[in-house]
Amino acid sequence: MSGGAAVWTVVVPWLLLTWVFLWVSGRRGWWGCFVCGAVAAAVVMFPWLGHPLPFWTRALMANFSVPLAGVLVIAVAGRVSGKSLFTSADWNAAWIFGAAGAVALYPSALGLGPRNLDAYALGWPWLFWGQSFVLFAGVAVVAAFLLWRCNRFGILLLLALLGYSVGFQESENLWDYVLDPVFAAAAIAGVLRLGFRGLFLRNRGEAPRQKRLS
Amino acid sequence: MNAPETVVRSRRPGIVRMVLAGLALAAGLAPWWSAREEGWRAFPGFDVAPAVEDVVDELPIFETIEINPGSPEAKAHSATLARMPDGRLVAAWYAGSGEGHTDVGIFTSVRDPRGAWSEPRRILSREMMFGSLGRYALSLGNPLLLPGEGGKLGLLFVSIAAGRWSGSSLNLAWSEDGGETWGPVEKLTTNPLFNLAALPRNPPARLDGGGWAVPVYEELVGNFPEILWLLPRNGGFSAAVSRMAGGLEVMQPALVPLSVQDAAAFYRDVTKTRRMFMARSEDSGRAWSRPEPTELPNFHSGVCVVRLPDGRLLCAFNDTTKRVRENLRLAISGDEGRTWRRIATLAEEKEQEFSYPYMLVGDDGWVRMVYSSRKNRICYVEFNSEWLNSMADAAQRKGEVP
């Protein structure tokens, strides 16, 4: 495991724990973020059964996606400043991208779906070079479209693509830079929430409104 | 004066947006485009020798020996074999108090050219992996040796993160001195869902121009076969997997290159068909036909199939449709696996287990094989083509398995 990958597998769990502690405690502002961040750092570095937390989490999760890290930074920053860097449209883009990616990727990776559909293999450009154009161009076009529309989730996708070019993760597969199971689960929950909210508002005869999330 | 300011204000974001969008397109397409040369070479074909009509030995020779007699471990299983350029044989297997237990380690033994096997040596334990990989592993299993150039030897094996085999992922280590010492362990990422659950089992196929196609299988929700491509890249090897079939049908592929482009795969059955399955590829392993049952029985047990120098296929398998592995037989096919004839019984005993055969075929026509015997023994078998032909002739004359 390279140094960059090792640091990444420490930083992302720390961000995740910081956000969880902020959310559970209801704290906001710089002081709250500092306290929760410090507690999260202590939890991450504490020698659980003789080893720090990343030693255990890496066993199952050594490739956290860039969008997951990005939305955690946005969420923590929102708690600190009281204003979200993401509009509801940005969040919607994140959840829809993550949910669509999860539907395209995970059933195939479990051996389900059409026999010849191997979505994950497209993430190695040197394996099925011609077919992998669909994935690389697809992510690039989605990122470009979002950036053109001033959707800030596009920045996270751009960072994921740049990260893949640098190759800082343990994985050499593009999918692992743009999607992971944690982000996928959050995205599916986010899309379901969007769907329920739309259904609820339609039943009440109201149109869904664009709303800033804090 | 207001108009130009308005234009400037509206153009600035437009330029930023355009630059960012262009950057995104470039960032996405650059790695794809830079991989084009490797992409064109991705399926170079198999490194397979043309069939030779007759390989002559003087006398039929068949020998068998236990590699780990007196082993204190309650379980020894999933053996693999590699022949080094100097003629030595290296065998590796996992052993411990039981499958998935924390004391399981990877063991090796080396047979010198005179035929003596060395005392088994534990080369890897989960604790030894902790430092290399910086992560927890519950247990180890399924080693596979990859003989390289100039005495270089690769060791592919699984580490289990949690649970049983469905919690496993692939690791790779290299030895520059034929297995005496091993370098740091590298984790291979082969699945997007927590990197679960690929396992190797059967011999790898060498690729034209270097690298290996290693048959592996997934065992998480579905059971399905894949090929792990270890391709030369940037001075080392890059790992990527491609699917051979869908889930819930077959697993543990045995990959048999027939020519540079053609290959056959034989599978362990996980359906109620209770037959060994088979598929074909005509494009160097890139795409595979739908697995079809063969005439050989199989009840969820590993098979090994190799191509003999004369082009026939040799299969080692448990000859039963019941949930036991009380025998281990050889069958031979002269039509690339479509039909089979049983020729020999290597082991048979009630309430015992003989399983997981692993075969290598030398250029000299000798077949060298290891398999799990009686749960905690690793048996080594070698025989020459004369013995094989004599058994095949005898089977044909008698119409039964000798």
- Reported as a single tens digit per residue, the pLDDT across A87-124 is 999 999 999 999 999 999 999 998 888 877 899 999 99
Q: What pLDDT is attached to residue B5?
A: 40
Beta-carbon separation of A115 and B241 below 8 A: no
Pull the structure tokens for residue B222: 């579905």
* Angstrom distance (rounded) from CA B188 to CA B228: 10
* pLDDT tier, B110 (very low <50, low <70, confident <90, very high otherwise): very high
Q: What pLDDT is attached to residue A208?
A: 53
Beta-carbon separation of A140 and B28 below 8 A: yes
Q: Is residue B16 part of a domain?
A: no
ipTM of this predicted structure? 0.90
* pLDDT tier, A202 (very low <50, low <70, confident <90, very high otherwise): confident
Q: Which residue of A has its CA nearest to B225?
A: A111
Question: How many whole angstroms from its chain centre is CA A92?
Answer: 13
Q: Is residue B30 part of a domain?
A: no
Q: What pLDDT is attached to residue B114?
A: 84
Picking from B304, B259, B267, the residue whose alpha carbon sits closest to that of residue B283 is B259
Beta-carbon separation of A143 and B28 below 8 A: yes
* 3-state secondary structure at position B376: coil
Residues of B in contact with A129 (CB under 8 A): 32, 35-36, 38-40, 42
CA of A214 to nearest chain B CA: how many angstroms apart?
25
Q: Which residue of B has its CA nearest to A172?
A: B189
pLDDT over 60 at B3, yes or no:
no
| B131 neighbors A58 (Cβ within 8 angstroms) | no
CA of A27 to nearest chain B CA: how many angstroms apart?
32
Mutation for B interface: A9, A53, A60, most B CBs within 10 A: A60
Q: What pLDDT is attached to residue A133?
A: 97
Beta-carbon separation of B27 and A136 below 8 A: no
Q: Is residue B29 part of a domain?
A: no
Backbone angles phi, psi at B80, to 5 degrees: -135, 165
Beta-carbon separation of B136 and A55 below 8 A: yes
Residue B160, domain CATH? 2.120.10.10
Q: What pLDDT is attached to residue B400?
A: 58
Residues of B in contact with A136 (CB under 8 A): 28-29, 31-32
pLDDT over 90 at B340, yes or no:
yes
Across the interface, which of B24, B29, B40 has its CB nearest the CB of A157? B24
Beta-carbon separation of B133 and A1 below 8 A: yes
Domain that holds residue B221: 48-398
Across the interface, which of B189, B195, B242 has its CB nearest the CB of A118? B242
Q: What pLDDT is attached to residue B1?
A: 37
Residue-wise pLDDT tens digits, B379-393: 999 999 999 999 999
Across the interface, which of A115, A155, A161 has its CB nearest the CB of B290? A115
Q: Which residue of A has its CA nearest to B245?
A: A115
pLDDT over 90 at B219, yes or no:
no
Q: Which residue of B has its CA nearest to A106?
A: B193
Q: How far is CA B127 from CA A109, B21, B71, B154, B196, in A?
A: 30, 47, 21, 20, 20
Share of chain B above pLDDT 70, in %: 95
Q: For the residues A29-47, what does the mean pLDDT come to?
A: 94
Q: What pLDDT is attached to residue A206?
A: 59
Most trustworthy range by pLDDT among B54-58, B219-223, B335-339: B335-339
Pull the structure tokens for residue A180: 């992971």
pLDDT over 50 at B172, yes or no:
yes
Mutation for A interface: B16, B18, B25, B158, most A CBs within 10 A: B25
Pairs from B163-167 (Cβ < 8 Å, separation ≥ 24): B163/B100, B163/B138, B164/B99, B164/B100, B165/B99, B165/B100, B165/B141, B165/B197, B165/B199, B165/B219, B166/B196, B166/B197, B166/B219, B166/B220, B167/B138, B167/B196, B167/B197
Q: Which residue of B has its CA nearest to A117?
A: B243
Q: What pLDDT is attached to residue B163?
A: 87
Residues of B in contact with A165 (CB under 8 A): 27, 30-31
Q: For the residues B242-263, what does the mean pLDDT come to?
A: 91
Using alpha carbons only, give the angle B83, B84, B85 rounded to the nearest 5 degrees: 125
Q: What ranges do the domains of chain A cover? A: 1-62, 66-214
Residues of A in contact with B38 (CB under 8 A): 125-126, 129
* Angstrom distance (rounded) from CA B173 to CA B152: 11
Number of domains making up chain B? 1
